[in-house]
Amino acid sequence: MDRIKIIDIADIHSDYDSLSKVADYARNTEHDIVLVRGDIIEGVFSERVAEIFVNLNNGYRERKIGFLQIMHHNGADKSLLERIAEDEIGYLELCNIRDDPQMDLKVRNFAKQFAEFKSEYDEANKKLIESAKESMIKQYEKVKEIMEGLEYLTLPGNHDGKCLEDVMGERNLHGKVKEVKGFKFGGFGGSTVYPGAIPKELLVLYDEGIARDSEGDLVKFSELYSKMPEESEIIIAHEMPQTYLHPENSFGLTDFMVNNEKSLALVGHMHKEAGVHSLNGESIIINPGSLGEQDIFAEISICRKDGKPTPEFISFKRINEDKVETFVEGKLDDYKKPSKGLFSYRILE
Q: State pLDDT tens for residues 168-204.
A: 999 999 999 999 999 999 999 999 998 999 999 999 9
Instruction: Tell whether 138 is covered by a domain.
Output: no
Instruction: Tell whether 308 is covered by a domain.
Output: yes
Instruction: Tell whether 270 is covered by a domain.
Output: yes
Instruction: Tell whether 182 is covered by a domain.
Output: yes
Residues 33 and 182 in one domain: yes
Residues 65 and 183 in one domain: no
Give the pLDDT of residue 202. 97
Residues 37 and 54 in one domain: no
Residues 148 and 127 in one domain: no
User: Does the predicted model carry a pTM greater than 0.85?
Assistant: yes
pLDDT in tens, 64-98: 998 888 888 877 778 878 888 888 887 777 777 77
Cβ-contact 14, 292 below 8 angstroms: yes
Domain boundary among 84, 111, 131: 131
pLDDT in tens, 115-132: 888 899 999 999 999 999
Tell me the average pLDDT across 138-152.
Answer: 98
Q: How far is CA 278 from CA 46, 260, 264, 335, in A?
A: 40, 16, 9, 10
Helices 105-146 and 91-99 pack at an angle, to 10 degrees, of 170
Residues 102 and 209 in one domain: no
Q: How many domains does the chain have?
A: 2
With 0-12 / 13-18 / 19 or more C-beta atoms within 10 angstroms meaning exposed / middle / buried, residue 84 is buried
* DSSP-derived 3-state class of residue 122: helix
pLDDT of 109 > 90? The answer is: no
**Residue 218 or residue 8, greater confidence:** 8
Tell me the average pLDDT across 97-110.
Answer: 76
* Residue 334 lies in domain: 3-44+143-346
Average pLDDT along the chain: 90
Residues 194 and 288 in one domain: yes
Instruction: Tell whether 136 is covered by a domain.
Output: no
pLDDT of 21 > 70? The answer is: yes
pLDDT of 244 > 70? The answer is: no
For the chain, what percent of residues have pLDDT higher than 90?
66
Furthest CA-CA distance within the chain? 78
How far apart CA 20 and CA 34 sit, in angstroms, is: 13
Instruction: Tell whether 137 is covered by a domain.
Output: no
Residues 323 and 304 in one domain: yes
Residue 161: count of CB within 10 angstroms of its CB: 25
Residues 19 and 58 in one domain: no
Cβ-contact 301, 313 below 8 angstroms: yes
For the domain that residue 299 is a member of, what is the CATH number? Answer: 3.60.21.10
Domain boundary among 131, 163, 183: 131
With 0-12 / 13-18 / 19 or more C-beta atoms within 10 angstroms meaning exposed / middle / buried, residue 311 is buried
Residues 259 and 286 in one domain: yes
pLDDT in tens, 325-341: 999 999 988 887 655 55
Residues 35 and 120 in one domain: no
How far apart CA 51 and CA 53 sit, in angstroms, is: 5
With 0-12 / 13-18 / 19 or more C-beta atoms within 10 angstroms meaning exposed / middle / buried, residue 65 is exposed
Residues 114 and 99 in one domain: yes
Domain boundary among 131, 160, 182: 131
Instruction: Tell whether 226 is covered by a domain.
Output: yes
Residues 9 and 52 in one domain: no
Instruction: Tell whether 273 is covered by a domain.
Output: yes
